[in-house]
Amino acid sequence: MASSRDGYSWTEKQGLKSGVPCIGTIQPPTNLDRASTEVFDVIVVGAGYCGLTAARDLTTSGILVADNPGSRLGLRTLLIEARDRIGGRSWSSDIDGYSFELGGTWIFWGQANVWREILRYQMQDELVSSYDFSKGLNKYILVNTERAQHFTHEEEDEMMESGLRKLVNVDGEYGKRVIPFPHTAAFTAEALRYDKMSVADRLSEIKDSLTPNELSGVEAFVLLCSGGTLETTSFFEFLHWWALSDYSYQGCIDYLVKYKFRGGQSSFAIRFFREALASGNLSYAFNSPVAEIDDTKDFVTVSTRDGKQYRAKRVISAIPLQVMNNVVFNPPLPSGKRTAASIGHVNQCVKVHAEVRNKDLRSYTGIARPENGLFYAFGDGTTPAGNTHIVAFGGQNGHFDPEDNIGTTARKLQGLVPMDIERLVFHNWSKDEFAKGAWFFSQPGLLSNHLGDMRARHGKVIFGSSDWALGWRSFIDGAIEEGTRAALTARTDLAPSQLKGKL
Amino acid sequence: MASSRDGYSWTEKQGLKSGVPCIGTIQPPTNLDRASTEVFDVIVVGAGYCGLTAARDLTTSGILVADNPGSRLGLRTLLIEARDRIGGRSWSSDIDGYSFELGGTWIFWGQANVWREILRYQMQDELVSSYDFSKGLNKYILVNTERAQHFTHEEEDEMMESGLRKLVNVDGEYGKRVIPFPHTAAFTAEALRYDKMSVADRLSEIKDSLTPNELSGVEAFVLLCSGGTLETTSFFEFLHWWALSDYSYQGCIDYLVKYKFRGGQSSFAIRFFREALASGNLSYAFNSPVAEIDDTKDFVTVSTRDGKQYRAKRVISAIPLQVMNNVVFNPPLPSGKRTAASIGHVNQCVKVHAEVRNKDLRSYTGIARPENGLFYAFGDGTTPAGNTHIVAFGGQNGHFDPEDNIGTTARKLQGLVPMDIERLVFHNWSKDEFAKGAWFFSQPGLLSNHLGDMRARHGKVIFGSSDWALGWRSFIDGAIEEGTRAALTARTDLAPSQLKGKL
């Protein structure tokens, strides 16, 4: 299996190694003829789930002119990607027969867009649960500066649910009145108000009602979601996650951290890519960071950093918000979009996988507050070697670069629970120039001021990203939602005029 | 707007009238050239959501032979339908600017397949809630042989939740251990056991723990789901609905009876049809009941009752289980499939809409047990004339044909709550020769014995229907799940051999 440049792995024997195996690495990186001067129907910039969905939908479907049945169906599409692999912020590495998820991981059947694809590719029986509460150390361990307390998982659930319900219960209906319908761009008046607040603001309102352990749990859970700080986390956006998760802690667990692919996210993403490829309509160029998108002529010209130029009738930009201002747009992006991009999101999640020799840790969950760098962790699987796979999360609070000093990283893991580490696997999203952070999470005000700006098209350039999805924003589901929307927009644009009203 | 032959409406002035307006009525009924002898890629039999999804996916997407870029994409598809309209068991009638849902009605964002389509067609802001608890008679009225009791909706929720939780709590986890993953064909051992039981069997185990009002509520709710009797309702299948609805009564309300389209289901179904049509690849023949499907030659031949014959490389049969044995298959269907079809399902739901002059009934919900014919009803909307729209349900228990005697039908409505009826709208699903009942609901044993049989293909004939979906079986979501699967199966079949492994 080819390795991506992305990611790190460490074992005592091997030391720290940059680049990990990934079935989503595409070799050779392009199928373009060097001399090609084709004007594509659509160029898709970015091969994460949004771009992959758009490329698949465009290449495999299209509009036939009704009175010209011989015309070609399916749109000629060029997929341009800065990295050497598909998947964007969701990708997995297969090491010794086991998948480590370097980015977005979990999906659930209540997420319409991703679940539809899982059914479509008949992968519903390839899911595994991250949790297994049948092993020895079947505990929730809450570490703070004074001590480590052990609880059963039932006690964990009770504390988390009780704390979170106090956090979200701004309306006597646990957030349901504020966000009755979590799949719309329309904000209720109350929702607007809560987007002006941070979670820190909200916590200061209710802190007297929370027990110290509830507060620790709530803080850790919110920071797990946002990857920011309590001050930079929009309270509305947290409520939105809560609403999407059926307004319950159990829903949060089911939706956010439970089911993953046995073969890893890249085993799913590759299905989209292969299907697009099988259409015969897909060209692609990996290792091709985009420098400029020029929409001042009949066709849009996309220039890469290495000086290549490609032309198309439409461009779908699946460039993440956080790095959008790295690309020159001509004409310049409208100020709302530029402002949103310069504000960016707050998520500097640090996700570290540890393969450990402690079998009992399979059933462990725990948090360490307030300042351990890695503050939330749980048993995430059992490797073929019989070791336990622990996944641990940090964020903006006490942010660190795990590759800088493996000893420090190991100590932060030990700060959660003692473990005998055999292997570490991680990707540094904060230093990733094509992401500059992990999944989207908004600071107060960004969504109510700029969601519409982020979603708007700009001339012949259509913008799609999980970062501004309506429903499962920040999730794989939202990326597919947006890829679907972007492809349909381009397809409608390019339809013969007599068909436009009919789609 | 054209009228369908299906459905009935009644007003005092107009009397009983057969056939109601429906935007899903297709006129003229065919776009086929009389002389056409085309061999289609695929014939889809049945234009409900499964068939519509399959036809759309087939006509708008396809596989281009990689080394023959000039070849046509999209599969030539013929959609054959017995009725004069699309939608099958889900269709709506627009009367005086208001939509009445004659069949399947409600959808929810946790239903992946249908929600993906709603987002794709950007219809998420066209939903309305059936419930509005802001009006005068804001009550749950429970009628039994002795009396009518009035409760608040909070009391209703408490009674229903308490009763249903007792019903489903066979495992100490409210069904979650029995059905941990409701989207698979694999049954747990416990699930198998509960598919041998009826809800009546289960109720006899727990009847001492239910209050009389809880029992009435539980019975009414189960019968609302199954349209059968307590004895013919598989306890497993009810648990499966419960599991799909997030294992909670609130989930049941959200998923099963809350959100519907302002413009009716036919406003959604027509989008699939129009998109398929815009591909230029769709032929269709309505008013064309199929008599025989012959798969003994190179191409499959579909013969209609009026003596026409059509040929295709593959056939997708979206014929409902209940009427499958009306069609002659050659070679005959395998015995498992024939047995399943002869067992059929148990749902003889009677659904009656009443437009009533009582404005206060907008906030009414109620049940009438045990023998009112219409046993479950609630306020479902306000018409442009300012009247209240009440929807009422009956089933196999005390089954009746609403068109037989309007006075009797009105009395059954009055048996729920006094109302001043201006208009009635309904469709008689039991007398509908192309449905012979409403949505699929299984008797004990059918699913554990025959789900695999129902799903299996038979030579070049692929079987798709909500009746045997894995997830939201019986629902619009399940129909789309199955249409997606059937289309992808046909498409993979017809792919050039060198591409087969790649999809």
pLDDT digits (tens, 9 = 90+) for B43-85: 999 999 999 999 999 998 765 444 444 445 678 999 999 999 9
Minimal CA separation from B308 to chain A, in Å: 25
Whether residue A50 has pLDDT greater than 50 = yes
Pick A119's closest partner by Cβ from B113, B115, B281.
B113
Domains of chain B and any CATH numbers: 26-88+266-344+438-497 (3.50.50.60), 131-257+350-428 (3.90.660.10)
Ranking A324-338, A380-394, B64-78, B166-180 by mean pLDDT, the lowest is B64-78
Cross-chain Cβ contact A125/B186 below 8 Å: yes
Minimal CA separation from A362 to chain B, in Å: 20
- Confidence at residue B16, expressed as pLDDT on a 0 to 100 scale: 98
Minimal CA separation from A419 to chain B, in Å: 31
Average of pLDDT values for B358-377? 93
Minimal CA separation from B310 to chain A, in Å: 20
Cross-chain Cβ contact B61/A60 below 8 Å: yes
Average of pLDDT values for A102-119? 96
The H or E element spanning position A392 is strand A388-394
Residue B378 DSSP label: E
A481 is in an annotated binding site: no
B73 contact A CB<8A: yes
CA distance A437 to A341: 13
Cross-chain Cβ contact B66/A278 below 8 Å: yes
Supply the mean pLDDT for chain B.
94
Whether residue A63 has pLDDT greater than 70 = no
CA distance B284 to B270: 14
CA distance B384 to A40: 49
CA distance B475 to A144: 49
Residue ranges of alpha helices (H) inside A425-466 are 446-455
Cross-chain Cβ contact A279/B73 below 8 Å: yes
pLDDT band for position A182 (cuts 50, 70, 90) = very high
CA distance A456 to A475: 20
Q: Which residues, including other chains, have CB under 8 Å from residue B252's CB and lie 6 or more apart?
A: B164, B221, B241, B242, B245
Enumerate the residues of chain A whose CB falls inside 8 A of the CB of residue B116: 112-113, 116, 484
B111 contact A CB<8A: yes
Pick A73's closest partner by Cβ from B62, B116, B251.
B62
Residue ranges of alpha helices (H) inside A196-296 are 199-206, 212-226, 235-244, 249-257, 265-278
Residue type, A219: E
Cross-chain Cβ contact A279/B64 below 8 Å: yes
Segment B201-208 long-range contacts (CB within 8 Å, at least 24 positions apart): B201/B235, B201/B444, B202/B167, B202/B170, B202/B235, B203/B167, B203/B230, B206/B166, B206/B167
Whether residue B406 has pLDDT greater than 90 = yes
- Confidence at residue A497, expressed as pLDDT on a 0 to 100 scale: 61
Ranking A8-12, A36-40, A98-102, A330-334 by mean pLDDT, the lowest is A36-40
Minimal CA separation from A23 to chain B, in Å: 14
- Give contacts of B 202-261 with A, CB under 8 A: 246, 251
Crossing angle of helices B199-206/B235-244, nearest 10°?
90
Q: Residue holding tokens 């690495």?
A: A25
Pick B112's closest partner by Cβ from A119, A246, A502.
A119
Quick one: tokens of B92? 């709506």
Whether residue A68 has pLDDT greater than 70 = no
Quick one: tokens of B480? 């789309």
* Number of Cβ pairs < 8 A linking chain A and chain B: 146
Q: Which residue of chain A has the CA closest to B66?
A: A280
Pick A120's closest partner by Cβ from B66, B488, B502.
B488
- Confidence at residue B66, expressed as pLDDT on a 0 to 100 scale: 44
A5 contact B CB<8A: no
Cross-chain Cβ contact A119/B125 below 8 Å: no
- Confidence at residue A181, expressed as pLDDT on a 0 to 100 scale: 93
Whether residue B362 has pLDDT greater than 60 = yes
Cross-chain Cβ contact A280/B66 below 8 Å: yes
A177 contact B CB<8A: no
Examine residue A28 and say whether the peptide bond preceding it is cis (omega within 30 degrees of 0). yes
Whether residue A160 has pLDDT greater than 80 = yes
Pick A73's closest partner by Cβ from B73, B116, B471.
B73
- Confidence at residue A503, expressed as pLDDT on a 0 to 100 scale: 47
Whether residue A424 has pLDDT greater than 80 = yes
Ranking A352-366, B33-47, B298-312 by mean pLDDT, the lowest is B33-47
Pick A110's closest partner by Cβ from B65, B110, B186.
B110
Enumerate the residues of chain A whose CB falls inside 8 A of the CB of residue B55: none
- Confidence at residue A67, expressed as pLDDT on a 0 to 100 scale: 44
pLDDT band for position B495 (cuts 50, 70, 90) = confident
CA distance A493 to A490: 5
Quick one: tokens of A34? 């060097």
CA distance A194 to A209: 20
User: For A442-466, what is each residue's pLDDT tens digit?
Assistant: 999 999 999 999 999 999 999 999 9
User: For A186-220, what is each residue's pLDDT tens digit?
Assistant: 888 999 999 999 999 999 999 999 999 999 999 99
Cross-chain Cβ contact B74/A66 below 8 Å: no
The answer to whether B485 and B52 are in contact (CB under 8 A) is no
Minimal CA separation from A83 to chain B, in Å: 23
A184 contact B CB<8A: yes
Pick A63's closest partner by Cβ from B181, B278, B481.
B278
Enumerate the residues of chain A whose CB falls inside 8 A of the CB of residue B182: 109
Strand partners of residue B368: B143
Q: Which residue of chain A has the CA closest to B255?
A: A110
Enumerate the residues of chain B whose CB falls inside 8 A of the CB of residue A72: 70, 72-73
Whether residue B502 has pLDDT greater than 80 = no
B484 contact A CB<8A: yes
Q: What angle do CA A206, A209, A212 make, to 5 degrees?
A: 105
The answer to whether A19 and A5 are in contact (CB under 8 A) is yes
* DSSP code per residue over B173-221: STTTTTSS-TT-SPPPHHHHHHHSSBHHHHHHHHGGGS-HHHHHHHHHH
CA distance B347 to A115: 28
- Confidence at residue A62, expressed as pLDDT on a 0 to 100 scale: 60
pLDDT band for position B110 (cuts 50, 70, 90) = very high
Minimal CA separation from B113 to chain A, in Å: 5
Q: Is B165 helix (H, G, I), strand (E, B) or coil?
A: helix
B488 contact A CB<8A: yes
Cross-chain Cβ contact B73/A74 below 8 Å: yes
Whether residue B342 has pLDDT greater than 60 = yes
**Chain length of chain A:** 503
Enumerate the residues of chain B whose CB falls inside 8 A of the CB of residue A246: 110, 246, 251
B186 contact A CB<8A: yes
CA distance B442 to B237: 7
- Confidence at residue B67, expressed as pLDDT on a 0 to 100 scale: 45
User: For B191-239, what is each residue's pLDDT tens digit?
Assistant: 999 999 999 999 999 999 999 999 999 999 999 999 999 999 999 999 9
Q: Residue holding tokens 């007398």?
A: B431
| Interface residue of B119, B282, B283 to substitute, partner A, most A CBs within 10 Å | B119
- Confidence at residue B33, expressed as pLDDT on a 0 to 100 scale: 87
A494 contact B CB<8A: no
User: For A333-353, what is each residue's pLDDT tens digit?
Assistant: 999 999 999 999 999 999 999
Whether residue B419 has pLDDT greater than 60 = yes
